[in-house]
A and B are shown apart, each in its own frame.
Chain A
């Protein structure tokens, strides 16, 4: 035992540990600032959240220490067991949890409430790492890929049932790991492209092209144009077929130009999307002919791509309508379609004011008026970054962002140096979860992404999230510390 302890102290990545302590400390000061009241200011008061957070922090240090002391092999060994246990816990939560602010994600155990979803991330990462590192796993194989997707989807769906859509979305970030492990880039590209199509369809879904024809939306037309252009680019990149790519491009442009001139010169009003459909159909036939001529069936896939995009655009519209009204408004507000600083946009508007009024060096610790006077809702949890922005200004925000970036880069670096596949995959899972949290959280407080209620790691108030991130991080640090010991 003694030798192992020494080896832990020697081998653990102290750089990350120090970064962790720094982030947690900075986080605590922010919570103190956010909860601090101008009227009665007492420093040590455990009935206040900064007092409680101190307890959570103390506990998480203990947890971190314990995790570091455990044998690193047990994580691999019990990965599935932990995963299944977590799934059961999530399932249980759906039924026993009391409803708090519309979500059923809290398990109340006497004075303490826990959010199993925060811990399920770690379990999912472990299971994913174990499965993907198992012998004979091939990402290209459909059944393996299917299992991977299921591993991610099951907890996701359960969390959605708990009405914590934000936390569920975090799991989507795990797909990034798949890419690192050899999933074709095309999948990621398609994912990205469908996101673009989704945004365009929603953003311009209600803008008519012609004032005379109202049931035709600009969104669909834009999607058509973009997918046609992308189609030509795909042709160029994947088939190296410059001639046909150019031909396709010019032909399509010509048809659109004719349609436009007819509209302008003869004052003929018609649905431009019909022209779009025509162009898509003709270019698909064109590609079909080339495919038959050259006996290269991949041309057909390229042709199918643009048709798929248009279909997806229609699906996005339908899917968007299926979203809950408050989720719809959040997306609309982010896309700038709705401007309602009193209601839907209130949070973001006030948080932008808080951050924006911080200026270069901030108003000073405990001097933020926006946050102290409760203008920003959820300012000690999801909107904690406002306190940083307001009281410490651009310098403080920059510093916090830089710390997170350093942490994430360090995690990637650590993951890359793992010899064990299990450790490496787990490391990437950790890094992508941190990335998603930081990106979405800071994105939403600065008004760049829709408001999705997920915490900022180590900053947001809450025992569950702090412990969850601590466990997630320290299991990896423990795995990293013993990277030379085992070959998994």
Chain B
């Protein structure tokens, strides 16, 4: 008798005190937690114009056990779905994990308010159907799709990575790409919960503790972007029917003013129920509208990179502003030739920038590589590379967009591997001096270079968010980054860039009454016509905007990229385009430079 009782007491001790799992099991049995979804934060532009906001959406919830005398045909008609679709959805719903015929189960999600209205009137006819409020993103402007990103169902990886605050459950929505992804934590807000008691059949039996333990949801934080939406819209218009990008930065803060990737799409395409269909369509578009060009496309920077070399060569005391190199329509060493266009010879530093002289930079770069003070070419190249990196190339800048690319700057090891250790000479790598060869940069990195030159030696990491409600901006974006180039060396480069606009390749695109400094470039493209690149900042003495424009397959930088860049600057600085330049604006807006594709996408 006593033995039996003792055994039972041990068993009870084991069940009730040693084993904790039963409490959780009882809780998950008895408590039905209904999530109160928070409203997502609103996104505004730098002037407070609302770009992204929420519109109500509705999930149709179904309690299968309560469905009696259900007029399926009418229900389908109201929802505009076929009977087969209805059966399919019901099947899918029943297969889902955690399906319970006694509690509301999502039958169809993200119904728009128009569809909702139609159903709402007739809802009384359908027992067991209810509607749950959700929110969908809505857009005031049909622009800036890629930088904003979109909302989509959380993937497996996100769920797996969500180990710290366990915010998501399968079926939740989260930001995908762009600002929506980077600032997800601020935008998403805090979920609330309403706790109900449910019985063994899953029927709700009222509030737990009269709702005292329920948690109200907290709406997400609003974001203010650095983007000027009017400039952004204008940029997208200018880039219409062209492939390429515009990156415009405020040099004094690193704030990105416009970030155009062309071709682009309407962000509202990726909202709600039509999301997946549209997404597949965009994904299969041969012009890759989902490819975030200003952040991800890597081009050889071409002549724009000469400005960087001009800075490095001065810093390394290889040249002074007075140094002149001859140019006989190019740079010739034996049978090796880098061509150049017609200009007087020899040229000094300022002139070399103005005329974009290839020979000058080939000679200067070789002088550095073969300089005895570095002992060998490896050291010389590594020194050069350090400077290039300090100018923001070769690594991700760290912008607040999830998919930034780092571009490419080779190091000595790269050539060791390529040619064999100690078997490469300065002549073999001379194309780096004129922005060709191995080096690659993103449009954002080039805009950042313009920003550095505008600031005469420093920059802030380019970023899209200017202000988060109630939070400090990450110090990454508020700390000044000083480059390895002393500010005095910028003067001749800036002067050279000014002359480009006054009497050089950029003359045709000049802006009245504002001193613009610019540099054209042409990125050689082995697959087709060269890419047109232009890098600039203005005004010269109090820079307000630094910009880089890339127009793919359009030839010289001066022809397309430069006019677009200066139009952008003029629009930003003056707010209008004067009469003299209207024809240019027209020409740019209407030009169709889309590559000829096999299909008839372009005309």
Residues of B within 8 A of A402 (CB): 5
A373/B198 in contact, CB under 8 A: yes
A405/B1 in contact, CB under 8 A: yes
How many angstroms from the CA of A124 to the CA of B23 in the assembled complex? 44
B26/A374 in contact, CB under 8 A: no
Interface presence of A15 (CB below 8 A): no
B29/A353 in contact, CB under 8 A: yes
0/1 interface trace, chain A 397-410, chain B, CB 8 Å (1 if under): 11001101100110
Residues of B within 8 A of A398 (CB): 9, 12
**Other-chain contact of B22, A356, A394, A405 (Cβ < 8 Å):** A356
How many angstroms from the CA of A398 to the CA of B9 in the assembled complex? 7
Residues of B within 8 A of A375 (CB): 29-30, 199-200
Residues 409-462 of A contacting B (Cβ, < 8 Å) = 409, 412, 435, 438-439, 442-443, 446, 448
0/1 interface trace, chain B 8-52, chain A, CB 8 Å (1 if under): 110111011101011101110111000000000000000000000
A443 CB → nearest B CB, Å:
7
How many angstroms from the CA of A251 to the CA of B476 in the assembled complex? 83
B298 CB → nearest A CB, Å:
57
A405/B26 in contact, CB under 8 A: no
Residues of A within 8 A of B21 (CB): 356
Residues 318-364 of A contacting B (Cβ, < 8 Å) = 350, 352-360
B29/A370 in contact, CB under 8 A: yes
B2/A353 in contact, CB under 8 A: no
A353/B25 in contact, CB under 8 A: yes
How many angstroms from the CA of A38 to the CA of B210 in the assembled complex? 11
Interface SS, B side: helix
A394/B17 in contact, CB under 8 A: yes
0/1 interface trace, chain B 548-561, chain A, CB 8 Å (1 if under): 00000000000000
Closest to A341 in B: B25
B16/A359 in contact, CB under 8 A: yes
Interface SS, A side: helix
How many angstroms from the CA of A422 to the CA of B94 in the assembled complex? 65
Residues of A within 8 A of B19 (CB): 356
Q: A interface, how many residues as a size bin?
A: 35 or more
B23/A446 in contact, CB under 8 A: no
- Count of A-B contacts with CB under 8 A? 101
Closest to A436 in B: B4
Task: Report if A389-B200 is in contact (Cβ < 8 Å); known contacts: A353-B29, A443-B8.
Answer: no
Residues of B within 8 A of A389 (CB): 12, 15-16
How many angstroms from the CA of A373 to the CA of B201 in the assembled complex? 9
Interface presence of B324 (CB below 8 A): no
A404/B15 in contact, CB under 8 A: no
Residues of B within 8 A of A401 (CB): 5, 8-9, 12
Task: Report if A409-B16 is in contact (Cβ < 8 Å); known contacts: A357-B25, A370-B30, A373-B205.
Answer: no
Residues of A within 8 A of B26 (CB): 353-354, 356-357, 369-370, 390
B1/A358 in contact, CB under 8 A: no
Interface presence of B206 (CB below 8 A): yes
A35 CB → nearest B CB, Å:
14
Residues of B within 8 A of A360 (CB): 16-17
Task: Report if A374-B200 is in contact (Cβ < 8 Å); known contacts: A435-B1, A435-B4, A446-B11.
Answer: yes
Q: B interface, how many residues as a size bin?
A: 20 to 34
Residues of B within 8 A of A409 (CB): 1-2
Interface presence of B271 (CB below 8 A): no
B4/A355 in contact, CB under 8 A: no
Task: Report if A355-B15 is in contact (Cβ < 8 Å); known contacts: A405-B1, A405-B5, A439-B4.
Answer: yes
Task: Report if A358-B16 is in contact (Cβ < 8 Å); known contacts: A39-B205, A352-B22, A401-B8.
Answer: yes
Interface presence of A155 (CB below 8 A): no
**Other-chain contact of B5, A369, A370, A372, A404 (Cβ < 8 Å):** A404
B13/A394 in contact, CB under 8 A: yes
B15/A446 in contact, CB under 8 A: yes
A121 CB → nearest B CB, Å:
18
How many angstroms from the CA of A448 to the CA of B8 in the assembled complex? 9
Residues of A within 8 A of B5 (CB): 401-402, 404-405
0/1 interface trace, chain A 353-396, chain B, CB 8 Å (1 if under): 11111111000000001101111000000000000011001100
How many angstroms from the CA of A393 to the CA of B15 in the assembled complex? 10
B30/A394 in contact, CB under 8 A: no
B16 CB → nearest A CB, Å:
4
B30/A355 in contact, CB under 8 A: no
Interface presence of B197 (CB below 8 A): yes
Residues of B within 8 A of A370 (CB): 26, 29-30
A202 CB → nearest B CB, Å:
21
0/1 interface trace, chain B 190-206, chain A, CB 8 Å (1 if under): 00000001111100011
How many angstroms from the CA of A86 to the CA of B9 in the assembled complex? 37
Residues of B within 8 A of A412 (CB): 1
Residues of A within 8 A of B198 (CB): 373
A154 CB → nearest B CB, Å:
27
Closest to A370 in B: B26
How many angstroms from the CA of A78 to the CA of B141 in the assembled complex? 99
A397/B29 in contact, CB under 8 A: no
How many angstroms from the CA of A404 to the CA of B8 in the assembled complex? 12
Residues of B within 8 A of A369 (CB): 26-27, 29-31, 197
Task: Report if A446-B12 is in contact (Cβ < 8 Å); known contacts: A356-B22, A405-B5, A439-B4.
Answer: yes
How many angstroms from the CA of A357 to the CA of B30 in the assembled complex? 12
Task: Report if A355-B29 is in contact (Cβ < 8 Å); known contacts: A39-B206, A373-B200.
Answer: no
Residues of B within 8 A of A373 (CB): 29-30, 197-200, 205
How many angstroms from the CA of A184 to the CA of B199 in the assembled complex? 53
B205/A353 in contact, CB under 8 A: no
How many angstroms from the CA of A37 to the CA of B119 in the assembled complex? 36
Question: Which residue, B13, B17, B26, has most C-beta atoms of chain A within 10 A?
Answer: B26
Residues of B within 8 A of A404 (CB): 5
Residues of B within 8 A of A372 (CB): 197
A38/B206 in contact, CB under 8 A: yes
How many angstroms from the CA of A359 to the CA of B16 in the assembled complex? 4
A394/B16 in contact, CB under 8 A: yes
A300 CB → nearest B CB, Å:
34
Residues of A within 8 A of B11 (CB): 446, 448
A169 CB → nearest B CB, Å:
16
Residues 115-137 of B contacting A (Cβ, < 8 Å) = none
A382 CB → nearest B CB, Å:
16
How many angstroms from the CA of A397 to the CA of B464 in the assembled complex? 63
How many angstroms from the CA of A442 to the CA of B9 in the assembled complex? 10
Residues 470-487 of B contacting A (Cβ, < 8 Å) = none
How many angstroms from the CA of A446 to the CA of B201 in the assembled complex? 23
Q: List 25 A-B contacts (CB under 8 A).
A: A38-B205, A39-B205, A350-B200, A354-B26, A355-B22, A356-B15, A356-B23, A357-B22, A357-B25, A359-B23, A360-B16, A369-B197, A370-B30, A373-B199, A374-B200, A375-B199, A389-B16, A397-B12, A398-B12, A402-B5, A409-B2, A435-B4, A442-B8, A443-B8, A446-B12
Smallest CB-CB A-B distances: 3 pairs:
A356-B22, A357-B26, A369-B30
